[in-house]
Amino acid sequence: MVAFAGAHVVVTGGTGALGSAVVGALRAAGAECHVTNFVAAELDRFPFKSDPAVHVATGIDLADEAAVRRFYEALPPLWASVHLAGGFAMAPVGETSGADFEAQFRMNALSCFLCSAAAVRSIRARRDGRKGGRIVNVSARPALEPRLGAGMAAYAASKAAVAALTQALGEELVGEDIWVNAVAPSILDTPANRAAMPGAPHERWVAPAAIAALIAFLASPDNRVTRGAVVPVYGGS
């Protein structure tokens, strides 16, 4: 039995390294995917750009409430929404401006909140006889271990907000069988991260395919009990 069986799933930031792995896992399970893209160059190597069941939308500011509403309201009612889009920045606190801090919250926490709210409205509008739906967010290890956020305080705080939002929504929506969870990765084993840290122990990092399998499970009807969780995904690091 195919877990998603044609269910509609949003994947924000779905054209990157992790996003491609997540879309691949969802498609293998039968989902129809609606993917947002921010970095145009990612489309050149996105392996699903010719897949008729993968619909890519570009130019959407996920921190703009009106833009997010338009995007979700134009879609068929959803089973799930997976929120990978975000941003990373690091700098000592004395070199971090208020605008820098706000930018991290807009990219990570505000975008996650707006997409979650829009997803809930879309899930509630579904009329296929199946109750509920799923939301999966992406937090980060420094959100769970804030001391690791030294030198990247704005990023750590914004991802901690994602973790708190996940837990609050997981409780708020339990009566509707809308399970809300998050994963909290450490360093992902991507070409960009390898290039940035060539001497690091890459074999201890988390492969995108491994975290994609976890995300796909949390987003699936097969996940019947897990809600409000922020799952550490650290690998051996």
The mean pLDDT of 164-190, rounded to a whole number, is 95
Q: How many other β-carbons are positioned within 10 Å of the β-carbon of residue 189?
A: 20
**SS3 string of 16-67?**
CHHHHHHHHHHHHCCCEEEEEECCHHHHHHCCCCCCCCEEEEECCCCCCHHH
How does the average pLDDT of the chain come out, rounded?
95
Q: How far apart are CA 190 and CA 218, in angstroms?
A: 22
pLDDT attached to residue 3: 87
The mean pLDDT of 44-63, rounded to a whole number, is 96
The mean pLDDT of 39-68, rounded to a whole number, is 96
Task: Give residue 119's domain range.
Answer: 8-233
**Residue 30 domain-assigned (yes or no):** yes
pTM of this structure = 0.95
pLDDT surpasses 50 at 177:
yes
pLDDT surpasses 70 at 2:
no
pLDDT surpasses 80 at 234:
yes
**Residue 221 domain-assigned (yes or no):** yes
Q: How many other β-carbons are positioned within 10 Å of the β-carbon of residue 201?
A: 10
Quote the tokens at residue 141: 């290890």
**Residue 2 domain-assigned (yes or no):** no
**Residue 94 domain-assigned (yes or no):** yes
pLDDT in tens, 75-101: 999 999 999 999 999 999 999 999 999
Q: What is the CATH number of the domain that holds 135?
A: 3.40.50.720
pLDDT surpasses 50 at 1:
no
**Residue 194 domain-assigned (yes or no):** yes
pLDDT attached to residue 200: 82
**Residue 3 domain-assigned (yes or no):** no
**Residue 218 domain-assigned (yes or no):** yes
Q: How far apart are CA 85 and CA 110, in angstroms?
A: 11
CA atoms within 13 A on the CB side of 93: 5
pLDDT band (50, 70, 90) for residue 190? confident
pLDDT band (50, 70, 90) for residue 165? very high
Tally of domains in the chain = 1
**Residue 101 domain-assigned (yes or no):** yes
Percent of the chain with pLDDT over 70: 99
The mean pLDDT of 18-37, rounded to a whole number, is 97
Quote the tokens at residue 216: 């796909």
Q: How far apart are CA 102 and CA 106, in angstroms?
A: 6
Angle at 134 between CA 89 and CA 8, to 5 degrees: 95
Q: What is the dihedral of CA 18, 71, 161, 197, to 10 degrees?
A: 30
